[in-house]
Structure 1
Amino acid sequence: MTSNAGSGEMTGVMVEKDMREKHGFPPEFLNRLDEVIVFRELTRPEMKEIASKMLEEVVRRMREKGMELRVTERFKEVMAEEGYDRSYGARPLRRAITRLLEDKLVDMMLAGETKEGDSLTVDVDPEGNVVVHNRRAG
C-alpha cells in the first residue's frame, strides 16, 4: 500500500503522530503496519529521467509493430512538465504519456497514417502542440 498521508519532512514518531492526528488513522490500523517509509518529493530532472524510461516502453511497443519512434528532448521536457505534480509524484506522468503520445499514435494507426517500416518523430511545435512527423517507408 502506498499513500501520500503524512508526507513531508518528518521521521519516525512524527510520521505516526501526523498520520494519526491529521489523517485520522486509528492506532489499531497503524499498529498493523510493519513500517512507514517517508519518500521525498521528486525533482524535475528525476521526473524527466522517469519519463525517459516510460517512453522506452512506448518505443519498444512501436518497434514490435515494425515502426521506429523517436522523441525529441523538447517533447520529453513538455511531457515531464505536464506529468509533474508535487503532491502525487510520478503518478500523473503515466496519464500524460497516454494523453500526449499514445492516444495520438493510436489515432494515426487507426486512420491509416502509419504503416510498418515508418519512422516517427514526436516533437513540440512553437505553439506548444505535440506533433508527430512521419517519414514513410519507401
Structure 2
Amino acid sequence: MRFTIATAAALFFGATAYAQPQRDDGPLDPNFYENIDISDLYVWKDHPSDKVTGASFSLTGRNATDLSCEVQDIEKFPTGVITCGDSMYRFALDKGESTEFALHLYHELGVAVGYYGKGDVSTYCHSGGLNRIICAQLNPTTIVIDSV
C-alpha cells in the first residue's frame, strides 16, 4: 500500500511539475513591458554630510519623450514616490545594488494597473562648490518596467 501511495504521489507531483508553464526564450510581448530611457540624471548632496538633497532626470518611454522628473528638498533617502510633472509616470530615488543610486519607476496605465521596475544608474560625483556635491549620470541607461 505504501508503494502505491508513494507511486501515486510521485506521479501526481511529477505531473504537476511537468504541467507548469515553461518560459520561452523567444522575444517578450511588447504589450506587457516598457523600456524607459533615463538621461541627464543629477543628484545633489550636502558636503560633508553626504545627505541627498535633490535629483532630476529626463525620462523617455511609451507615452513620454524627455519628460522632466525632479525632487527638491529631500526629507529622507530613499525618497517616497514622486510624480513626474502631471504625467502618469512616477519615480523614487534609492540606493543602487552596484551603483550609488537607483531609480524605481512606475507607469500608471489605469486604476490599480501599471508597470514597475527598478534599475541602477551609474554616476560620477564631484565637488559642486558651496558645500555641495553633484553626482552626474555617466552612461545612457534603460530600465525595463513590466506588470510582474
- TM > 0.5: no
Structure-1-length-normalised TM-score: 0.24
Find the structure with the greater CA-based Rg.
2
Greater strand share, 1 or 2?
2
